[in-house]
Amino acid sequence: MVSEERPLPEPDSEELFSLLGPSALRTLYGWLYRRRGDNAPTMAEVRLFMADALGEPQEHIDRRLRELRRYFDIPSVPTPPGNPRYPLRGWAANAPDSQNLAISSRVRAQVLAPQRCFQCGKTPKEDRVKLVVDHKVPQSWGGGNEQENLQPLCEECNAGKRDYFQTYDVHAESIRAAINYAEPQRRIGELLRAFDGDWVRTDLLGIVASAQEFQEDWQRRLRDLRFLGWEIEYQRRHYEGARVWTYYRVKKWRPWPASIRDAITAEERRRRSRERPSGA
Binding site for Zn ion (CB under 5 A): 117, 119-120, 154, 157
Name the residue nearer to Zn ion (CB basis): 57 or 114.
114
Cβ 17 to Zn ion, closest distance in Å? 16
Q: Measured between alpha carbons, how far apart are the two ends of the chain, in Å?
A: 64
Name the residue nearer to Zn ion (CB basis): 35 or 116.
116
Strands 231-238 and 90-91: unpaired
Name the residue nearer to Zn ion (CB basis): 30 or 124.
124
* Contact call for residues 161 and 153 (beta carbons, < 8 A): yes
Name the residue nearer to Zn ion (CB basis): 148 or 155.
155
Q: What is the CA radius of gyration of the chain?
A: 23
Cβ 165 to Zn ion, closest distance in Å? 15
Name the residue nearer to Zn ion (CB basis): 132 or 263.
132
Cβ 115 to Zn ion, closest distance in Å? 12
Cβ 134 to Zn ion, closest distance in Å? 10
Q: Which helix (H) or strand (E) holds 271?
A: helix 260-275
Cα dihedral 83, 89, 93, 96 in deg (nearest 10): 90
Cβ 3 to Zn ion, closest distance in Å? 34
Name the residue nearer to Zn ion (CB basis): 106 or 243.
243
Cβ 157 to Zn ion, closest distance in Å? 3
Q: In what order do the strands lie in the sheet with 200-201?
A: 200-201, 244-252, 231-238
Name the residue nearer to Zn ion (CB basis): 157 or 211.
157
CA distance 101 to 112: 18
In order of 126, 153, 162, 272, the CA distances from 129 in angstroms are: 8, 9, 17, 51
Q: What letter represents residue 133's amino acid? A: V
CA distance 254 to 185: 12
Cβ 126 to Zn ion, closest distance in Å? 12
Question: Where do the DSSP E strands lie in 52-182?
Answer: 72-73, 90-91, 131-135, 150-154
Residue 133: count other Cβ atoms within 10 Å of its Cβ: 20
